[in-house]
Amino acid sequence: MHLTQHAKKIVTDSGGLQCKHSMPVCSACSLWIMWVWPETMVDNRNQLARPDKNDILKKLSAEQHIDPAYQPFGDGHAAEKICDILRGDKTMKYALIGCGMICANHIRAALETGLEIVALCDLVEENREKALAMLPEEMRSGVKLYADYRAMLSEQRPALTAVALGSGIKRQIVCDCLEAGTNVIVEKPVALSLEDADAMIEAAAKNGVKLCVNHQLRFCPSMRALHAEVADGSFGRLLHGAAQIRRNRNKAYFDAGKWRGTWKNDGGTLMNQCIHYTDLLQWMFGDADEVFAYTDRLTHPYIEAEDMGLALIRFKNGAYATVEGTVNVYPNNLSDALAVFGETGTVSVSGKYLDQVERWQFEKRHGFPSGAIEKYAVADMGTGHTPLYRDMIDTRSNTTASRSAPVSRGERRSNSCSAYTNPPRGGKPVRFPLSRLDDGLCWEV
């Protein structure tokens, strides 16, 4: 491996050397052989030459266009990955890309789940230094700071990377992480367009790694209990749900990040503040069939997107849901709330972590299920990031079913429920499944 990494040209009849040469660490080399693995001939990185000096020299000078993402025999680090798994979760290398406001929750989760934090990455030096200061002093010397995430991926090769960046700029970074072979936790929303979401989904599948969106409210004990009630049929036929997200976001909030409130990089209230609740409604009710919304910008003339949205979702099972989202509440936030109504049951909860039960009533039972707090309690709940991290680690190491939100076609639909209620659509409902054509129309403002 060392020789192939530093060689300019290689002439060999070794099948094993062909495979090693096809790895990205050797992509600068050319391999000329008497017989060939067909996978190694992509991009002309290998060619079949006759045992003739002139033919070999001719083939050595052929032009190459090598794609480093093409890895038919792996990336050359299989042994390291096997050792990481055998040593256990505590040695899983972790990196964070994006050291803004939300990074404290990610760092806390990484610490509490025993990840080995090897790198922090942000374009702004001050942000990197602040994030480093959040770590215990004895750990800081082992953490490297980066402005260039590609250099970080190449040098550190983390097993798990969190991407906590603005909504509209994540596609390339997330895809590069997945192509580098790292599992990814991406902050919500996963993307602002179907094209970007599909690119991430396809990159994860292609490289055999996991991609999870940070919908941490799924780990609230009340939400896990509610989901169990739905799955057990306690509601009978589901009728409708309702989510209320009533918050205050002043000018200082939007000034803190110039990307906030823009169509290109953020979206509006329904996409940003309400996306967790759209996810919960889909988790309870299943796939959406049609969405419609009224949106407006009422008190924030300095942003592009809406600061108030009233959305109606019709699900494929015939149930409905409403989403009320606003950042105009005076003078500060009101409590969030979520309700689910069925023929034989009603659940209504509120609070920052939806832990205040206002009604939990079914035809044959009244009150929060006995023992549910103990059954569904999550260690180190905190902001919800810690149990989501733990779940991601567990599902990477085995085939345990995940309770977090893997980015799949389901998450694509959940994201679309918010994305397609953001920009004005001429008063017309939007039907599912969505197409790339719909995606283009979505962003006409």
**Residue 2's pLDDT band (cuts 50, 70, 90):** low
At 12 the pLDDT is: 76
Alpha helices in 8-96 (DSSP H): 15-21, 53-60, 78-87
- Supply the pLDDT for residue 437: 42
When pLDDT is cut at 50, 70 and 90, the band that residue 320 belongs to is: very high
> Which secondary structure element, helix H or strand E, spans residue 39, and what is its range?
none
Q: Average pLDDT in the 319-329 region?
A: 98
Q: What is the pLDDT of residue 383?
A: 64
Structure confidence at residue 20 (pLDDT) = 57
pLDDT for position 430: 84
Q: What is the pLDDT of residues 43-87, one digit of tens each?
A: 666 777 777 888 888 877 776 656 555 566 665 666 666 765 665
What is the per-residue pLDDT for 431? 84
The per-residue pLDDT for 59 is 76
Average pLDDT of the chain, as a whole number: 82
pLDDT of residue 68: 52
Query: What kind and span of H or E run contains 440?
Result: helix 436-442
DSSP codes joined into one string, 219-231: GSHHHHHHHHHHH
The stretch 331-336 carries a mean pLDDT of: 96
Task: Specify the pLDDT at position 346.
Answer: 96
The rounded Cα 176 to chain-centroid distance in angstroms is 13
Please report the DSSP string for 266-325 in residue order. Answer: T--HHHHTSHHHHHHHHHHH--EEEEEEEEE--S-TTSSS-SEEEEEEEETTS-EEEEEE
Alpha carbons 279 and 334: distance in angstroms, whole number? 20
Q: Under a CB-based contact definition with an 8 Å cutoff, are residues 302 and 251 in contact? A: yes
pTM of the model: 0.74
Percent of the chain as helix, strand, coil, to the nearest 5: 40, 20, 40
pLDDT over threshold 90, residue 369: no
The pLDDT, as a whole number, for residue 50 is 76
Determine the pLDDT at residue 311.
Answer: 94
Find, among 31, 107, 110, 108, the residue nearest to 73 by Cα.
31
Give pLDDT, residue 324. 98
Residue 148 has pLDDT above 80, yes or no: yes
Question: How high is the pLDDT of residue 6?
Answer: 66
How high is the pLDDT of residue 104? 94
**At residue 25, does pLDDT exceed 50?**
no
How confident is the model over 243-299, as pLDDT tens digits? 999 999 999 999 988 889 999 888 899 999 999 999 999 999 999 999 999 999 999
pLDDT given at position 48: 75
- Please determine, for residue 30, whether its predicted confidence score (pLDDT) is greater than 50: no
Token reading at 138: 């004895």
Q: Report the percent of the chain where pLDDT is more than 90.
A: 53
The answer, yes or no, to whether residue 423 has pLDDT greater than 80, is no
Tokens 């409604």, residue located: 281
**C-alpha distances in Å from residue 229, one per residue of 47, 277, 284, 286, 372:** 61, 18, 9, 14, 11
pLDDT, position 24:
44
- Give the pLDDT of residue 344: 96
> Can you tell me the mean pLDDT for 134-138?
96
pLDDT tens, residue by residue, 370-401: 666 566 665 554 567 898 999 898 876 554 44
Supply the pLDDT for residue 119. Answer: 98
pLDDT at 47: 72
Q: What is the mean pLDDT of residues 159-176?
A: 94
Burial class of residue 159, CB neighbours in 10 A (0-12, 13-18, 19+):
buried
Q: Is the pLDDT of residue 133 over 90?
A: yes
